[in-house]
């Protein structure tokens, strides 16, 4: 198999650095990057902006036909629009994270976004990050990485990120949110957070972004080589 046709799945819990690593790999290899978590965050943002509670499953499902998501790539970056408005940093708050986890538990929401994600995967040369890419979205991906770290490490990262953005939050609040999100994601009935049986689990507590990117690119090179020699 040609390297440029590989499909790469990067899964893992909140704060593991999935998006940053996947973007770095895309920049290094020329692959198309798809931030699937951002799609769920966008659905959640719509619900929050329209006063629909995160635990109101019936209300969320009823509102789905009104959610218009547009996906585009500009200067190598994924741009998501809700209606005609770019969502930008509005989907990166703790509230958006909580809503994303809540809406992702609902089968109609997952079905709503599933074909969009799979159609992007079919073209190859794509790297997606999320929580069920290797198990549900791209179960036949040639490269599957489960990126993770301790809750404390992930909370420290998220805390620094939020503070740099000027968001007034404490480390304890972020850690509590991380632990709650882990529990919610791993215990949901539909596509729970877990490594695919054939994924490589990479604990990145002691590694920087550059080292994580190099690890994934190395796995991609090995996968292309293995398939070429079969």
Task: Write out the DSSP string of 11-75.
Answer: E--TTS-HHHHHHHHHHHH-PEEEEHHHHHHHHHHHHHHTT--TT-HHHHHHHGGG--EEEEEET
pLDDT at 78: 75
Q: What is the pLDDT of residues 108-123, one digit of tens each?
A: 999 999 888 888 788 8
Could you tell me the pTM of the whole model? 0.76
Cβ–Cβ under 8 Å, residues 15 and 171 = no
pLDDT at 139: 94
pLDDT at 55: 94
Cβ–Cβ under 8 Å, residues 131 and 194 = no
Number of neighbouring beta carbons within 10 Å of residue 40: 25
Task: For tokens 């054939």, name the residue.
Answer: 198
Q: Which CATH architecture has domain 3-229?
A: 3-Layer(aba) Sandwich (3.40)
Which tokens in the block code for residue 230? 């079969």
pLDDT at 112: 92
Number of neighbouring beta carbons within 10 Å of residue 190: 13
Residues of the chain below pLDDT 70? 1, 73, 76, 229-230
pLDDT at 76: 62
* DSSP state for residue 208 in the 8-state scheme: -
Backbone angles phi, psi at 7, to 5 degrees: -115, 130
* DSSP alpha helix (H) spans, the chain: 18-29, 36-49, 57-63, 94-104, 107-122, 151-164, 171-187, 209-229
pLDDT at 35: 82
pLDDT at 230: 43
């Amino acid at each position: 198999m040609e390297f440029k046709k590989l499909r790469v799945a990067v899964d893992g819990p909140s704060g593991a650095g999935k998006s940053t690593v996947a973007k770095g790999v895309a920049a290094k290899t020329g692959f198309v990057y798809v931030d699937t978590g951002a799609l769920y965050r966008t659905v959640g943002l719509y619900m929050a902006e329209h006063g629909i509670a995160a635990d109101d499953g019936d209300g969320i499902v009823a509102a789905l036909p009104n959610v218009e998501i547009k996906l585009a790539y500009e200067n190598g970056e994924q741009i998501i629009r809700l209606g005609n408005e770019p969502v930008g940093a509005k989907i990166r708050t703790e509230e958006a994270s909580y809503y994303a986890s809540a809406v992702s538990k609902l089968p109609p929401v997952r079905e709503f976004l599933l074909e969009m994600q799979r159609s992007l995967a079919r073209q190859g040369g794509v790297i997606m990050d999320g929580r069920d890419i290797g198990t549900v979205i791209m179960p036949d991906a040639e490269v599957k990485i489960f990126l993770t770290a301790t809750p404390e490490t992930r909370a420290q990262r998220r805390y620094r990120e939020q503070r740099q953005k000027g968001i007034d939050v404490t480390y304890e609040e972020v850690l509590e949110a991380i632990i709650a999100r882990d529990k919610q994601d791993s215990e949901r009935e539909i596509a729970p957070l877990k490594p695919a049986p054939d994924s490589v689990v990479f604990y990145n507590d002691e590694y920087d972004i550059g080292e994580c990117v190099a690890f994934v690119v190395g796995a991609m090179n090995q996968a292309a080589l293995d398939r070429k020699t079969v």
